[in-house]
Amino acid sequence: MSFNPQPVIILVEPQMGENIGMCARAMLNCGLDRLRLVRPRDGWPNAAAKATAADADVVIGKVEVYASLADAVADCHHVVATSARDRSLPIPLLNSGEAAGKVADWSGAGQQVAVIFGPEASGLDNDAISRAEILMRFETNPDFSSLNLAQSVLLFGWEWRSAEAGGRQSGATADLQEAASRKELEQFFNRLESNLEERGFFLTPELKPTTLKSLRSIFSRSAVSEKEVKLLQGMLTALLREKRE
């Protein structure tokens, strides 16, 4: 992986091209230019996005499109998810300033960070959330908290820029080294899932997705290192062995 201290912004299933364009503008305002899209509703390229982005078309021009969020975060070491809602998954919830401080620290250590934003109407679903190491919350007026997509991207970018400009302390030190890429973690998790499946772990098909998300979240939010993924794989291998007599 080439060193690039800038986090990638990932929009999951964005609907309006205009909003993608506004996000590109907000990103570039803050010095961010790496935008990834997962299943944009109206396909890609998108004329409305380009028109709205105007002078920020440098961002639009190098957008990367992915068929799944798993693919979009495969090369990332850390995933931050934006969510205003309380979640069933016990993922650490940070305010945007704290989260941006962590992102800056991680990036500064040469690690790739993804910051993911959900679709306009619904926000991120629990499958996406379960891939996150931390949740980022924007502490808006509790009586009127709804930010649109481009506003959320702007506020994250703004906090990131402040954090980069210096001095925000996040306390992120222990997890700065050796975080595994999400691809390595996903390989482990897929192996875990198929083995669980084969062993009748999932009592009903209906319950499987929820169970998987809860499981995934445990690994996602713990910022496991490469060494630890190897350990998990070894653990899994061991568990799959026949019991020795």
DSSP annotation of 45: S
Beta strands in 17-112 (DSSP E): 35-38, 64-66, 78-82, 93-95
Count interface residues toward a copy of itself (CB under 8 A). Answer: 23
190 binds a copy of itself (CB under 8 A): no
- Indicate which single residue of 146, 194, 222, 237 sits in contact with a copy of itself (rule: CB under 8 A): 146
Closer to a copy of itself by Cβ: residue 122 or 177: 122
Closer to a copy of itself by Cβ: residue 158 or 201: 158
Q: Going residue by residue from 46 to 85, which x/- string records binding to a copy of itself, judged by CB under 8 A?
A: ---------xx-----------------------------
Q: Name, in order, each residue with C-beta under 8 angstroms of 64's C-beta and a sequence gap of 6 or more.
A: 35, 36, 37, 72
Closest by Cα among 196, 221, 222 to 211: 196
Q: Which amino acid is at 88?
A: S
132 binds a copy of itself (CB under 8 A): no
Taking the C-alpha atoms of residue 154 and residue 125, their distance in angstroms, rounded to an integer, is 21
28 binds a copy of itself (CB under 8 A): yes
- Indicate which single residue of 4, 31, 88, 197 sits in contact with a copy of itself (rule: CB under 8 A): 31
- Indicate which single residue of 9, 11, 30, 180 sits in contact with a copy of itself (rule: CB under 8 A): 30
Taking the C-alpha atoms of residue 180 and residue 19, their distance in angstroms, rounded to an integer, is 32
Smallest distance from the beta carbon of 120 to a copy of itself, in angstroms?
14
